[in-house]
Amino acid sequence: MGYTFERTFSLKGAHPMTWKEATSMSQRTELAALARSQALSVSELARRFGVSRKTAYKWMDRQASGERPDDRSRRPQRSPLKTALPIEEAVVALRHQHPCWGGRKLAKVLSKRGHAVVPAPSTITDILRRHGLLTPPAQRAQHLWQRFEHPSPNDLWQMDFKGPIHVGQGRCDPLTVLDDHSRYNLVLRATTDQRGSTVKTALIDTFRRFGLPLRMNMDNGNPWGIPSGRSQDLSTFAIWLIRVGIGLSWSAPAHPQTNGKDERFHRSFHAEVVRGRSFADLRQAQQSFDQWRAIYNNVRPHEALGLAVPADRYRPSPRPFPETLPTIEYAPQDLLLKVDQRGRITLFRRPFTVSTALGGYVIAARPRDADDGVYDLYFSHQPIGEVDLNEAS
């Protein structure tokens, strides 16, 4: 009689190993490797691995072609709605060049560069999201201000200093001037101070190139503002602008929205040029400013302009810069009054203070009505205040 002994070996605490405990990836790799040895038929290998012959052959074919033997995505390999790779690469490349631009600006620039098929702005936003290029949305302003735009270029220029930035071991106060109608940037100057003489030098170059605006708006600080806070006071720099032939206006204190377009320009300038960067010296800073200014004026679409660029809407002024200051003229009916060195005038034997900066100049008192005793004061074309002879003092 023959006996068959079946011996079972076990380890305390161990469990019989099953195929399910192996990863799916390792099973497929191993089946393909065993098939290459031809020790067993494909049918037998399929049985042992618990798969069909069709699946076994699929795994073997993928391994032989160099593909990973894991599951392929069931997504179609081609999708007629998917953005073509070249245009997607162009979107990503342009975003890297201009990290603050959104889908609308990118779409506009790609179209102008001659791409035959440009995705919709929403599709471009999806592309940016897939590539991790979206920044958190900026918090919306709590107050919405009514947008106002002057009808023609050079009707109004807005001027201001952006907050100081560090350059090397010193500081830089970028001077900016923006055309209200077109948003065209006329001045982006890396200056080391905020003196009137510094601004004057920058503006002379600008006036020679672009001509004179009808009016310029500034805040009420030095060098162009009203130092004492009184409406009739003028600075020396402001007097020069008036003599050149430019009308002046000032933003009310604590109302930066009056110069809102230039303030918005400062935010774009900070986000796209200043933030996260350092400049070795003033020259390097100015080079960066000039490069970005060219992009801002000629390449970067502006949403407030219907995605046009500022250069599309700006035209130089026909009013030339006077190399010699013209003579101040007044109307025949004006009362001419000379300002003394203390900034005072006398009208009908009554003293009034105007501005010490006007010391030595002649101004005009123009009656508002025939007999009401109220006079508007002018320096050249610029109204500088009023006096009321009916007041006790």
pLDDT digits (tens, 9 = 90+) for 343-370: 899 998 899 988 888 999 999 999 887 6
Mean of the per-residue pLDDT values of the chain:
78
Average pLDDT on 257-266 reads 78
Q: Which residue has the higher pLDDT, 150 or 203?
A: 203
Distance CA 166, CA 155 (A): 34
Q: Given a cut of 50, is residue 5 above it in pLDDT?
A: no
At 37 the pLDDT is: 61
Query: Helix or strand or coil: residue 302?
Result: strand
State yes or no: pLDDT of 159 exceeds 80. Answer: yes
* Rounded distance between C-alpha atoms, residue 130 and residue 308, angstroms: 28
Over residues 203-213, the pLDDT tens digits come to 999 999 999 99
Pairing of strands 362-367, 335-338: antiparallel
Please give the Cα distance from 288 to 284 (Å, whole number): 6
> What pLDDT is stored for residue 70 in this prediction?
57
Q: Which residue has the higher pLDDT, 148 or 51?
A: 51
Q: Which band of pLDDT confidence, cut at 50, 70 and 90, is reported for residue 119?
A: confident
3-class secondary structure, 383: strand
Contact 356/364 with Cβ under 8 angstroms? no
Picking from 218, 178, 212, the residue whose alpha carbon sits closest to that of residue 304 is 178
Domain spanning 157-313: CATH superfamily: Ribonuclease H-like superfamily/Ribonuclease H (3.30.420.10)
Task: Give yes or no for residue 321 having a pLDDT over 50.
Answer: yes
Residue type, 218: M
Which residues face 173 on adjacent strands? 191
pLDDT tens readout for residues 35-85: 776 767 888 878 877 888 888 888 788 777 766 555 555 555 554 555 676
Q: How confident is the model at residue 335 (pLDDT cuts 50, 70, 90)?
A: very high
Where exactly are the structural domains of the chain?
1-71, 85-130, 157-313, 335-388
Other CB atoms within a 10 A radius of the CB of residue 264 amount to 15
Kindly indicate the confidence band of residue 91, based on its pLDDT and cuts at 50, 70 and 90. confident
Looking at residue 123, what is its pLDDT?
A: 77
Whether domain 85-130 has CATH 1.10.10: yes
Question: ω into residue 223 within 30 of 0, thus cis?
Answer: yes
- Quote the CA–CA distance of 298 and 165 in Å, as a whole number: 25
Average pLDDT of the residues in 28-34: 72
pLDDT value of position 261: 85
Query: Could you give the C-alpha distances from 244 to 153, 156, 215, 239, 382, in angstroms and in order?
Result: 19, 15, 11, 9, 11
pTM confidence score: 0.64
pLDDT band at 131 (very low <50, low <70, confident <90, very high): low
DSSP 321-347: --SSPPPP---TTSEEEE--TTSEEEE
Q: By 3-state DSSP, what share of the chain in percent is helix, strand and coil, each rounded to 5? A: 35, 15, 45
